[in-house]
Amino acid sequence: MLVQAFYKFFYRVKVCGLDRLPKTGPYIIAANHLSIHDPILLSAFVNPHIRFMAKEELFRIPIIRYLICRLGAFPVSRTGSCISAIRHSIHLLENGKTVGIFPEGTRNRLDTRLSAKPGVGFIAARSHADVKIIPIAISLRPRQWFKHHYIIIGEPIHVINPDDYRSLAQYVLQTIYALKKDGYRENRVRLKRGFTPE
């Protein structure tokens, strides 16, 4: 509650589309990644039990390791093999957990979309659970205090063709950026008209 209060006061954070989250079953949270605030925002406003992939370098810094472990993060290598992280993600999903992934694989502060890493598609496709992918767009930029920022939750994405996981990953990222473009504009209009998102 304190974390929510902080972001609502200093960043005017609004969440739109909470009703789109599955009520039961495992799912993947897939979001764009603007800053270190993103996993905190998703845990505070969307689901406090998300298990995030985080680059292994962060686990070498004691204070950051403590914080991200509290958020349920687990390490993934961005240069070598990430098989263990993929296996762990699939294990979590098959046990009904929620996994958080940033499909671009790194922070992207630009408005230009990077190419999606295949991981989000591969994990969803290879899991034996009926996994849905929830696309989420985040607008918060750390230096923009007292301005309206949004967390836009999109419609669940289902795995149709497990063999084409690379195209699935690209589609997920494309959906996130569509939410980022259209969702922010739509909700700015709603606020001006006096409507308040969830």
d(CA 54, CA 83): 14
Can you tell me the distance from the alpha carbon of 165 to that of 161, in angstroms, rounded to the nearest whole number? 7
The reported pTM is: 0.88
Handedness of CA 102, 144, 11, 59 (dihedral sign): positive
CATH of domain 2-192: 3.40.1130.10
pLDDT digit string (tens) for 128-182? 888 999 999 999 988 899 988 999 999 999 998 889 999 999 999 999 999 988 7
In the prediction, which pLDDT does 187 show?
A: 56
- Structural tokens at position 161: 């063709």
Name residues whose C-beta falls within 8 Å of residue 107's C-beta, 6 or more positions apart in sequence. Answer: 33, 34, 35, 36
